[in-house]
Amino acid sequence: MRCAISRWLLESLLREAKAAHSREICGVLLGREGVIEEAVPVANAARDPERSFLLDPAAHLAASRTARHAGRAIVGHYHSHPSGREEPSYADAQAAQEQGLYWLIIAGGGARLLISRRGGEILGAFGGIEIELF
Ligand SMILES: [Zn+2]
């Protein structure tokens, strides 16, 4: 499976992650199947934002509403791993309850894309997706 994302968008997320230093950034991804068109930052409401992320529920809802009004769909979300590890954590696997969402992990100046899939080959929770830059 592949998913397209513009170089410009990916680079802006890499910059956002770098600027946050040791804190995890997070946000929602808008687009359609096979294409990520836009990323909307959402506050990280985790109690320990240096080790985990939690999309702030109110901000998440507001982003969903804005997306819907613009006729766009939320296809997943992104977060960063300041540790530089591109692999999803066990906490990520546990949080991947909603199926078929893109999970973009920004780490170490690069990115890895997954899709939540119960029984998937990655931690039993994700399948790998190849990023197609355009
Ligand atoms: Zn993670």
Query: Using CA atoms, how far apart are residues 3 and 10, in angstroms rounded to an integer?
Result: 12
**Whether the model pTM is above 0.85:** yes
**Count of other CB atoms within 10 angstroms of residue 121:** 10
Fold of 2-133: Cytidine Deaminase; domain 2 (3.40.140)
Residue 70: per-residue pLDDT: 87
- Cα(40) to ligand 1 centroid in Å equals 17
Q: Which pLDDT tens digit goes with each residue over 22-33?
A: 999 999 999 999
Q: Which pLDDT tens digit goes with each residue over 114-133?
A: 999 999 999 999 999 999 99
- Cα(45) to ligand 1 centroid in Å equals 14
Query: In sequence order, what are the residues at sequence separation of 6 or more whose Cβ sits closer than 8 angstroms to the Cβ of residue 27?
Result: 39, 40, 41, 42, 55, 63, 77, 78, 79
- Cα(116) to ligand 1 centroid in Å equals 13
Contact call for residues 118 and 125 (beta carbons, < 8 A): yes
Residue 91: per-residue pLDDT: 94
Residue 101: which of 83, 79, 80 has the closest Cα?
79
Domain ranges, ordered by start, for the chain:
2-133
- Cα(95) to ligand 1 centroid in Å equals 9
Q: Which pLDDT tens digit goes with each residue over 89-103?
A: 999 999 999 999 999
